[in-house]
Every structure is written in C-alpha cells, then in structure tokens.
Amino acid sequence: MTRIEIINQLIKKFRYKTYIEIGVNNGECFFQIQADYKIAIDPHFKISSTKKIKKIFSNFSNINNHWFEKTSDYFFSRHHYLFAKRSIDIALIDGMHEYHFALRDADNCLKYLNDNGIILMHDCNPITENAASSFKEWEKRNFYDDWNGDVWKSVVHLRSLYKNINVFVLDTDYGIGIISKRPAESVLNFSPDQIEKLTFEDLNQNREEWLNLKPVSHFRNYFDNYF
C-alpha cells in the first residue's frame, strides 16, 4: 500500500477537501491526489508548465492546484493566511529527510490541521544504515541508493514530547507515519538531547516499540472508527 493509495482512500472516506504536500519534486504523488484544493510546496519544482496542464486531463482535481516554490519554513511564515478560512484536512510531509526539518513541518501542519485531519510523514522506517544516513553522507555517495534519512527521530520526538496526538508508522512504502489529534495509544520518554544521540543501531534494536510500527491491516482498523 503506497502513500498515494492511503491519501486518496482517506480523502474519499472522510470527504477531505484541502490537501497540502511538502516536498513535491516532480509531482509523482501530488498529481495523483484527488482533493478539491491542493497546495504544493517545494523549493525547486521539477515540473514544466506543459506537464501541469496535461495532468489536468488525467485528474481534473489538478485544475485547483496551488504552487509555492519555496521552502516549507518560508511558506508557513508568509502564507498562513491561506488557512484562515480553510484548515488542512490531510497533509503529506516528504521534504528534506532529516529530523529537525520533518519535525518543523509536522509542527507547522499541526497548527492548521482540523481536529479530524491527518498528517502523513514519509520515510519513517529506514531498513539499512545507508538509507538512514545524513544528506551529506548520501551526497558523498553521489545520491546512490534509497535515502530515508533520520525522519524516524521525528516520530520518536513526537511520541515523547507531544501528549495530545497519536502517532504510529505503517510498515509500508518506506514507513508511513500517521499523525492524528487523538489521545496517544502509548508514549516514549526521550528528551531532545537523547534523541539527537540515537543511532540507526538503536533504532534497529527497538524499531517496533519506538515507531509504534503497525502492519498495513491496522490502517483500516484504525480509521473504521475514527469519527
């Protein structure tokens, strides 16, 4: 089950209208999402004007796409007015795959998320040490192989320091973090300093507990009684 399938199923099930995607790149995911109002955020889109037009004919919801070629930090600092009358129903965080970037994106989305909304965070479950490396290390490898970074640390952070949300990771598509404004099923007890020092080996030894890792079947079970 991919993030695209998860997002579209949630939009259809709960009739979500407003979708925001951080880290759009070439639009592989964004163009396939079927929401009425879509916001794309990326500092460097790899999408031509021609492609934007063509994608309207394959998915008519793309006629209401809104493009912001800037960092997510800048977007939320200057364009929060967009959410004065419409809150975020569903968001995908798939930008810079590093702990503090992903955490800031989660913080910003949570500010404008409606009470029944959902945030998805991609790349939460790196399987190899290379996949979990820093951007600089990945760059040294000439961007070879998959790169998930240490987004997983943002999951540990949210589960340790945010008591008014529920966070779990679906074991699919490199790990899909699911964040909702619901009471936490379980919590962790790490400080930010401790999280900084965690290693991939630590994750490997505590993966299921720290990520609150769930099988794909949990997706339907969780959202069947969501609201």
pLDDT at position 146 over 80: yes
Give residue 68's identity as a one-letter amino acid code: F
Q: Residue 214: beta bridge partners?
A: 170
pLDDT at residue 142 in the model:
75
Mean pLDDT, residues 98-124: 97
pLDDT, tens digit (0-9, with 9 covering 90-100), for 174-225: 999 999 999 999 999 999 999 999 999 999 999 999 999 999 999 999 999 8
Stronger pLDDT, 96 or 172, i.e. the higher one: 172
Distance CA 146, CA 174 (A): 10
pLDDT at residue 135 in the model:
76
Place 134 in a pLDDT band, splitting at 50, 70 and 90: confident
Pick from 72, 90, 86: nearest CA to 20 = 90
Mean pLDDT, residues 154-178: 97
pLDDT at residue 53 in the model:
92
Domains of the chain (ranges plus CATH)?
Answer: 3-224 (3.40.50.150)
CB atoms within 10 A of CB 99: 22
Least confident of 90-104, 133-147, 152-166, 198-212: 133-147
- Token pair of 188 as six digits: 């962790």
pLDDT at residue 52 in the model:
93
Contact 91, 109 (CB under 8 A): yes
Phi and psi, residue 141, nearest 5°: -90, 15
pLDDT at residue 136 in the model:
83
Mean pLDDT, residues 88-109: 96
Distance CA 22, CA 13 (A): 22
Distance CA 209, CA 193 (A): 19
- Token pair of 89 as six digits: 């129903």
> CB-based contacts of 95: which residues, under 8 Å, 6+ apart?
22, 23, 41, 42, 72, 101, 102, 105
